[in-house]
Amino acid sequence: MFEEIDYILEAQNAERFASLYACSSKCLPDIAFSSFGDIMEYLSTLPFSGTSWYNLDRISWNIFGAGKEKTAPGSAATDNVGCQRTVGIKVPKIYWNFTRKEVLTMEWIDGIKLTDESRLRKANLNRRRLIDQGLYCSLRQLLEVGFFHADPHPGNLVATEDGSLAYFDFGMMGDIPRHYRVGLIKMLVHFVNRDSLGLANDFLSLGFLPDGVDIQSVSEALRASFGDGTRESQDFQGIMNQLYDVMYEFNFSLPPDYALVIRALGSLEGTAKALDPDFKVVESAYPFVIGRLLVDPSPDMRRILRELLIRNDGSIRWNRLERLIAAISQQASETEGETQKSYLDSLGSFDIRAVVSATEDLFEFILSDKGSRVRVFLVRDIVKAADVFYQDEVLNNLLDEKLRARRLFGSEEHGILVRVVRGFHSLGRAVKLAPDLWSAMLIRMVVKPEFQKFACDISSALISHFKYHLPVSFWMCISRLLHRVVDKDEADAWNEVYLGRE
């Protein structure tokens, strides 16, 4: 058994993990001590409390000629990693002077087990915040950086009294390359949106399916596994149960890295359920995934964002676009009103600059030669929405309220109109957060000849459509008004006859 243990490697994993994800805590100044007594005397002067703690990493001391604390060659401590850290994540310090291949010596961190409800309650810790911290850190590992803790079960995580999460046991780690991370993002997007064909193509491109497999058959099997939509909110284990039959039928083959990813997601959800039994990892991860699509300007991420909002035939997925805009505007409103909050949930937050940049990239794609079909469908949908607005909000208000009520929500075109109106309302709230950025982007778009031509196409289509409808509608209004006048005169005449008889 001991031949398999390599605590040097595990310690290096811990330091690399800390350099990538652990937030720097309050540190002490560099001070050299010559004896243990000097250390104790200095520590006695520090204002320790139950909710504050000090990281002693920077204290360098020399006892019996031991010299400064060593750093393992090739460990992350010697690397200059310019990477975003996750708030509230701690990793124990490695003491290299006392670490060997068979011996691992780490910093002691006091913590509370995530399954200890009474102590968590007594410490007054925010469980939702603990879940969000762990989920955000795990998603950064799996989708953004690639180096991940493959076994984040409750035994390897504790909550500290200051509300942080401390990670332990870095023996089982994974490192997935970028193309696998992009593939995982695509799978999450396609699964959440129940895009069975897109999911089947993801499996094929990642090498999960054998060559020559019938993608359409895989897609149909996946669609059948989704059911009638009542199981959309299942947890991760439920999702895997849905997919197991399909995986067995089509002889799926998972690379070792993805097997570790599945283990990590399962362990993550199990850990979160210790704090919240209703937690669902895929559902909770979706806002982070959308945030990654908006922030990352790389071509593959922009392509996934386009696939999310635009169908293969070029038509717009208005329902998804509406949900995305609503999520952005909701976060913008919450961010604007959270000046008093010390902690902002990173999962649902969107960088407004990244949102504007992604919107501009999407517009440029639509205006390019590759977006010609999208422009055709956009013109069609705009004309349909304008026609429904004209019929429901103008004519039927004048003619017949009952007819208007019958048409309400009664057509696909009206659904598009409702989504467009809601989308513009939500977008307006997001624009208020950074009007200068949106205005600059809009000006850059308006001055483009392609945009001006597209605006002319929309205007021409609307004029062409309504030049036939307006005369007809006009005479319909006149006819309806005349009928009302005649009906009113007849009613008055009958009333006079009735009253005369009395």
- Residues with a catalytic annotation lie at 151
Cα separation values, 18 from 93, 118, 163, Å: 9, 29, 17
* Residue 138 CB burial class (10 angstroms; 0-12, 13-18, ≥19): buried
What is the rounded distance in angstroms from the CA atom of residue 418 to the CA atom of residue 425? 11
With a CB cutoff of 8 Å and minimum separation 6, the contacts of 199 are 187, 190, 191, 219, 222
What is the rounded distance in angstroms from the CA atom of residue 82 to the CA atom of residue 305? 27
CA end-to-end span of the chain: 112
Residue type, 502: E
Tokens of 442: 């809009």
Interior CA angle at 356 toward 354 and 361, to 5°?
A: 90
Helices within 276-371 (DSSP H only): 281-295, 299-309, 318-336, 352-367
Cα–Cα nearest to 426, from 326, 298, 285, 303: 326
Rg, C-alpha atoms of the chain: 31
Paired with 159 in beta bridges are 112, 165
What is the rounded distance in angstroms from the CA atom of residue 480 to the CA atom of residue 476? 6
- Per the rule left: phi > 0, alpha: psi between -120 and 50, beta: everything else, 306 is alpha
DSSP string spanning 183-199? HHHHHHHHHHTT-HHHH
